[in-house]
Amino acid sequence: MTLLARLSGAALLLLAQGAAAYSQGASNTPYPNRFVRMVLGYAAGGGTDVVARILADKLSERLGQPVVVENRPGGAARLAVEYVAQQPADGYTMLIAAGAEMTIGPLISKVNYSPIESFKPLTIAIEMPLILLVPADHPAKTVQELVAWAKANPGKSNYATTAPGFTLPAELFKLKMGIPAIGITYRSAAEGAVGLMTGAASMAFFTPPGIVNLVKEGKLRALAVTTATRSADLPDVPTLKELGIDMVITNWNGLYVPSATPQPVADRLSAELRHVVMNTDANEKLKKIFTTPVAKSPEDTTRQMASDLQMWKDVIAKANLKFSE
């Protein structure tokens, strides 16, 4: 072998060793080594945004890198979900979304994602009930009395709603109880509450933020909650389940990464988020905004999503509901 050949061979060996060392070093780069984005489909100040900022603050401490909340409102949050689904699957972009975005939106709108196949779930961080509400001066003081009233007053029976996430529970209640009621759409839950207080609407299913205090002040009457157990914020209000009505619904916020995210990265994010929810002062902060911290596992999150998707698909079909884009 000539000297040139031996030198060339040695050079190639050094290059190969250097490439291997670079590759090994890159793969062993600690995660994360830069800021992480937490994207949501609503403007700052709303319920999901508040939850996101509580979680991001403590998650930053756990990861040792900033976690930046990024608001991308539009398309009833659909645009944010689609955006995250298309981001690099490297663990640096996660989605926080309400249950409606993941289990109702895909059933009523054309979307460029699959809630199950486009994402790896990290956790359902929090849950909250829907509250069955009537005006404070409504003649019905119980669910049974409301059902009887609606059947006796079909021309007056209606419900306030602001979005499909409130319309579908009301329609499910109608199906379960066999009552008439038309939906009246308001621009916000605050306006819907005014509709109830003035008697323009006779019932509604709304989430606790902004509503619990109206109930405690006697401005609205809560007849039931939709969770399997009573709400800590309204402990005297029964569940539909304990009244013998087979209707359990939770409103929740889940966190996700794109489906191709490496499993060790997804596992790290899931573990840190669940620790934040249950074992830091984020837990008390979440309770103060009328949510219940739950920190479900990725597997339980997937099961919840699949169950809700089927439930709402059945309601849409049975009630023959049509939604505009």
pLDDT of residue 131: 98
Q: Is residue 234 part of a domain?
A: no
Residue 189 counted as domain residue: yes
Nearest to 184 by CA among 172, 198, 202: 202
Same domain, 76 and 106: yes
Dihedral of the alpha carbons of 30, 34, 35, 36, in degrees to the nearest 10: -40
Does one domain contain both 66 and 104? Answer: yes
When pLDDT is averaged across residues 88-98 and rounded to a whole number, the result is: 98
The CATH number assigned to the domain holding 194 equals: 3.40.190.10
Mean pLDDT score across all residues of the chain:
92
Report whether 55 contacts 273 (CB < 8 A).
Answer: yes
Q: Are residues 157 and 180 in contact, defined by beta-carbon separation less than 8 angstroms?
A: yes
Q: Could you tell me if 136 and 67 lie in one domain?
A: no
Q: How far apart are alpha carbons 78 and 49 in whole angstroms?
A: 15
160 & 307 share domain: no
User: Do 49 and 121 share a structural domain?
Assistant: yes
pLDDT, tens digit (0-9, with 9 covering 90-100), for 243-292 = 999 999 999 999 999 999 999 999 999 999 999 999 999 999 999 999 99
Contact 247, 311 (CB under 8 A): no
When divided into structural domains, the chain yields a total of 2
Taking the C-alpha atoms of residue 52 and residue 68, their distance in angstroms, rounded to an integer, is: 9
pLDDT band at 177 (very low <50, low <70, confident <90, very high): very high
Is 267 part of any domain? yes
283: domain CATH number is 3.40.190.150
The answer to whether the predicted template modeling score (pTM) of the entire model surpasses 0.85 is: yes
Choosing from 225, 242, 267, the residue where a domain stops is 225
80 in the same domain as 105:
yes
Residues 70 and 43 in one domain: yes
Distances, alpha carbon 242 to alpha carbons 127, 208, 230, 249, in Å: 19, 20, 9, 14
| Rg for the chain, CA atoms, rounded | 25
Measure the CA–CA gap between 91 and 105, rounded to whole angstroms.
24
Residue 8 lies in a domain: no
**In this structure, how many other beta carbons lie within 10 angstroms of the beta carbon of residue 254?**
26
DSSP state of 239: B
3-class SS at 46?
coil
Question: Could you tell me if 159 and 145 lie in one domain?
Answer: yes
pLDDT digits (tens, 9 = 90+) for 298-307: 999 999 999 9
Q: What is the DSSP string of 14-28?
A: HHHHHHHHHHHHHHT
Question: pLDDT tens for residues 184-228?
Answer: 999 999 999 999 999 999 999 999 999 999 999 999 999 999 999
Per-residue pLDDT band for 22 (boundaries 50, 70, 90) equals very low
60 and 201 share one domain: no
The verdict on 258 and 118 lying in the same domain is yes
Predicted local confidence at residue 264, as pLDDT: 97
DSSP string, 95-120: EEEEHHHHHTHHHHS--SS-TTTSEE
**Is 27 a residue whose pLDDT tops 90?**
no
* Inside any domain, residue 138: yes
Give yes or no for a contact between 192 and 160, defined as CB atoms under 8 angstroms apart. Answer: yes
325 pLDDT band, cuts 50/70/90, is low
* 220 shares a domain with 136: yes
Domain co-membership, 199 together with 138: yes
Domain assignment of residue 241, yes or no = no
* 179 found inside a domain: yes
Domain containing 308: what range?
36-127+251-318
Is residue 283 included in any domain, yes or no? yes
Q: What is the pLDDT of residues 143-154, one digit of tens each?
A: 999 999 999 999
Please tell me whether residue 286 adopts helix, strand or coil conformation.
Answer: helix
